[in-house]
Structure 1
Amino acid sequence: MQVLRRLVFFTIHASLFILVLPLVSSSQEPSKTTSHASKKDNNHKLSSKLMFEITLHGFLLWASMGFLMPVGILVIRMSNRVECGRRLKILFYTHAILQILAVLIATAGAVMSIKNFNNSFNNYHQRIGVALYGIIWLQALVGFVRPQRGSKGRSVWFFMHWLLGTAVCLLGVLNIYTGLQAYHEKTSRGIRFWTIIFTAEMSFLAFFYLFQDKWLHIQKQGVVLGNEPIMPNDQEISPRDKQKELKILTC
């Protein structure tokens, strides 16, 4: 467990270091080199192959960070109110499968980025992406070394798993937004529609996440707990009962 803690702390520190790397300025290069590079970038912008690769990269990262990962979290949260052992296993394995698929798809997107794109790390999207990939794989490793429930290190493991999962979700959503901005800068295409769609999706998932905690409380509002007697209100008392009450009071 101490080795796992050191690994977590090392990954977090390395990720923070990557995020605060100073930007390497290219303004000191000769003007000829700059003009040549700008022409080359313009040619890449017009390349249909590069456009397809950028679009596919964005789709893979959305499918991983923007869909499978959040849905997997919602699924495992449903198990908090489930007592049936068979249903618990179904929810757990569904969560595990969704998270594994998310890691594999994110890895495919990372390999595509390293292979086909200019990784100069001069923007937040690339730097956040590097940190995100490291935390994703660390989270997967932590998930595979899950101790048994009730064991000594279970609480520490659960806290680390929750912390890394939260970091992955937040960084993943943030990196999708920065990726849309990088796509706009690279291709000069509008991203307003996709930004609205993704924001609506995240809003719905966040609402469902919060609604899960309140659903059981909402169901209990109409349930009488214990053996408390149900007192009828004035509308439920019949006229005959009212006359009996008046006679008793006059006596």
Structure 2
Amino acid sequence: MQFLQKLGFFCIHASVLLLLVSPLVSSSQEHTKGASSRKDNNIHEQMSHKLLFEITLHGFLLSASMGFLMPLGILAIRMSHREECGRRLRILFYVHGLSELFSVLLATAGAVMSFRNFNNSFNNKHQRVGVGLYGLIWLQALIGFVRPQRGSKGRSVWFSVHWILGTAVSLLGILNIYTGLQAYHEKTSKGIKLWTIIFTAEFCFIAFFYLFQDKWVYIRKQGVILGSEPVRPTIDQVVLPPEKQKELLTESC
């Protein structure tokens, strides 16, 4: 009988002790789970910030490459067509070469970032166009390095291929900037209206300036009265020795 009483008292004390301890244990477990979930959220938030920075840097590199440096090189070589020889022609040629070289380097850095850090499932237009664009950029650079001399047989073919490929790369690059802005908006839910307006205004100015090069000489001549402009004799009108004519024909700027 005493044993049963002692067993009953022990059960009662044990129950009371469990009732007192269980809230403390549960609160400790909840605190641990809350700390763990907050830690996971912090890690996820840090990864999101890192990914957002990488996406922004990728967009900056490609927009600087395809949206500024490459059109600058095209404008420089376009302006050189009005120059025959001299220091100005060399400066425009070097501006063209250096701007296109830096454009290729920035595009390559952006391509490396996209292949290493992004999900390259190629399920959207921006990624598919971008892969083809990377290949065309490097092909255009290699064609530029194997430029034949003026007067050679393959010069006209090289010029046609270089011009067509450069035009295609420029148009695809501009198109991919807009598709990249749309992909950025879908990925981050951030507004892209301001950047779209800025790039559109820039491309319209570049296109206007590019087309304006052909009309500038014609516009300047509109103010010249016919007959007042001195007539300069051409090479065909000047009688030169055969050796001198051969030198003029083979000489290039």
TM-score (norm 2): 0.71
1:149, 1:226 → 2: CA distance? 35
Structure 2: stretches of 5+ with no match in the other structure:
1-43, 230-253
What is aligned with 1:211? 212
For residues 157-179 of structure 1, the C-alpha deviation after alignment (integer angstroms, 9 at most, x for no partner) is 00000011001000000000000
* Structure 1 residue 224, shift from structure 2 partner: 2.5
Matched, 1:68 2:69: yes
Residues 192-245 of structure 1, C-alpha deviations (whole Å, 9 max, x = no match): 1110111011011111111111111100001134459xxxxxxxxxxxxxxxxx
Whole-angstrom CA distance in 1 between matches of 2:73 and 2:64: 12
State whether structure 2 residue 130 is matched by structure 1 residue 134. Answer: no
What amino acid is the match of 2:48?
S
Structure-to-structure mapping, 1:40-119, within 5 angstroms: 47-119=48-120
CA contact (8 A) 1:183 1:189 kept: yes
State the structure with bigger RCO (CA 8 A, min sep 6), 1 or 2: 1
2:180 maps to 179
Assess if the C-alpha contact under 8 Å between 1:146 and 1:157 holds in 2.
yes
Aligned-residue offset at 1:46: 7.2
Between the aligned residues of both structures, percent identity stands at 76
Q: CA deviation at 1:83?
A: 2.7
Give the Cα separation in 1 of the matches to 2:211 and 2:46: 42
Of the two, which has the highest radius of gyration?
2
CA contact (8 A) 1:125 1:178 kept: yes
Give the letter aligned to residue 60 of structure 1. L
Could you state the TM-score of these two structures normalised by the residue count of structure 1? 0.72
User: What RMSD in Å do the two structures reach over aligned CA positions?
Assistant: 1.8
> Are the structure 2 counterparts of residues 166 and 45 from structure 1 closer, same or farther at C-alpha, using a change threshold of 3 Å?
farther
CA distance in 2, matches of 1:187, 1:116: 16
The aligned counterpart of 1:158 is 159
- Following TM superposition, the consecutive aligned residue runs of length 4 or more in structure 1 with deviations greater than 4 angstroms are 43-46
Measured in 2, the distance between the counterparts of 1:184 and 1:45 equals 20
Hey, what does 2:150 align to over in structure 1? Answer: 149
Question: Does the aligned pair in 2 maintain the 1:45–1:187 contact within 8 Å?
Answer: no
Q: What is the rounded CA distance, in whole Å, between the counterparts of 1:148 and 1:211 in structure 2?
A: 28
Question: Which amino acid is the alignment partner of residue 139 of structure 2?
Answer: L
Closer, same or farther: CA 44–212 of 1 in aligned 2, 3 Å: farther
